[in-house]
Structure 1
């Protein structure tokens, strides 16, 4: 509706039998998680099958192209045609995203302070071990 703010627009009801629409970012995360869950490269059809929820093949293919363009997945040239695998492991990709977030912010030290204050006791112990601090 022209001239109305998003908060004034009526919500569109979900259509019966159709899953809730996921954002591209959420779909990218789900596709990556699917690839990380196996050691074998997967075709778009195999990923579609594992994701379920009536996701269209074209949607999966589009997400894979976006991930490929971002350097997050690799297309396998050898073996089966049209298969994909992650370019990096889950932990490595997460660490890289954390570094990028710190580089984007105006105060990386403050961001680290907030991050560390939200760690669980187990995560804090692991971080201390990694930093060589053996505290009780």
Structure 2
């Protein structure tokens, strides 16, 4: 559903999303999912005629970061959860995270760095 919105050049109504998905889902199902995505803050919507047009509020990376943050917020012991997350990173991802955290004090937040995080840890 979100992939269809990310690929679009502008807001899409439920019928356009349904079409972008190949028509495999009923329009009522598409509308229900879009409404739930709106309620969860993943998409915005604006009134168009009798319906709504939907737009994603974040790109795929932003949505992943938001999900990670939501899961972390559920943890009573954040330190343990973060430690276990870091212990499962590939060597390249660990280096990328170190680079991002090292630049955080300089206002550098987000954005992949070329050549880092391209493969599994040996």
Fold equivalence (TM over 0.5): yes
Determine which of 58, 65, 70 is the counterpart of 2:28: 58
Alignment-derived partner of residue 119 in structure 1: 89
Aligned partners of 1:39, 1:63: CA distance in 2, in Å? 20
**How many positions carry a matched residue from both structures?**
102
Moved runs in structure 1, 4+ residues, more than 3 A? none
Determine which of 55, 61, 64 is the counterpart of 1:94: 64
3-state DSSP of counterpart to 1:122: helix
Alignment-derived partner of residue 107 in structure 1: 77
1:1-136 residue pairs with structure 2 within 5 A? 31-52=1-22, 54-77=24-47, 82-132=52-102
Provide, for residues 31-60 of structure 1, a one-character-per-residue CA deviation record: whole Å limited to 9, x for no partner.
122212334211211211222262111100
- The structure richer in strand per residue is 2
Aligned partners of 1:34, 1:64: CA distance in 2, in Å? 11
RMSD of Structure 2 on Structure 1 (CA): 2.3
Normalising to structure 1: TM-score of the pair? 0.64
Distance 1:39 1:124, change over 3 A: farther
Distance 1:119 1:96, change over 3 A: same
Larger radius of gyration: 1
Aligned partners of 2:34, 2:44: CA distance in 1, in Å? 9
Aligned partners of 2:93, 2:77: CA distance in 1, in Å? 23
